[in-house]
Amino acid sequence: MRTTGLVAAALAALAGCNGDIYLRDGVTDGDTFYLAEWALHDDDPVVQSWVSYSLMRSACQLMLGGDNPARATSFECELKAREHLLDTWKEIGAAADDRYLDTLAGVQAAGYLEEYVWHFLGRRSWEPPAGLALAPFDDWRRRHLRGHVPETRWIGSWGYARGL
């Protein structure tokens, strides 16, 4: 299996937040993130990019805490996870093809990743970040993202920790 430094860092961050990483599929709610077992053996750059996203977002959700970390969310968590998704994609996906990841890389190259996250993935509970260039992004988005549908491909799930 090809493992990038970014994925390894995300694994370390997740372990540091919760003490353990449980490597099996669980349910979609809870206090512990379970990385899908099959993802450990899949060298596909698209899969590994989304593993990086899933681990980083989960680590951030654990840091946010609350009664149910699976439901914790913030603009910063989503942005950081998308940045790690793209870092991994750029590192290992050069020869691969994925329409969504290539489009998202174009958004980042244009300097609009923060605006993209706010516009396409924003939640009412999020605090608006300072300095977003929403009007220029709107113009750019109309020209470059016609019919665009954002994607989130979780590789794993949340469940309740069981005694191991």
Look up the pTM and report it: 0.80
Query: Model confidence over 27-36: pLDDT tens digits?
Result: 456 777 888 8
Q: Specify whether the CB–CB gap between 160 and 30 falls below 8 A.
A: yes
pLDDT value for 1: 37
**In whole angstroms, what is the distance from residue 65 CA to residue 63 CA?**
5
pLDDT higher for 16 or 124?
124
Q: Which residue ranges make up each domain of the chain?
A: 5-159
How does the average pLDDT of the chain come out, rounded?
A: 82
Using the predicted structure, report yes or no on whether residue 22 has a pLDDT greater than 80. no
Query: Model confidence over 48-105: pLDDT tens digits?
Result: 999 999 999 988 988 888 877 888 899 999 999 999 999 999 999 888 999 999 999 9
**In whole angstroms, what is the distance from residue 143 CA to residue 150 CA?**
16
Confidence of residue 160 (pLDDT cuts 50, 70, 90): confident
**In whole angstroms, what is the distance from residue 19 CA to residue 62 CA?**
11
Closest CA to 9 of 74, 56, 78: 56
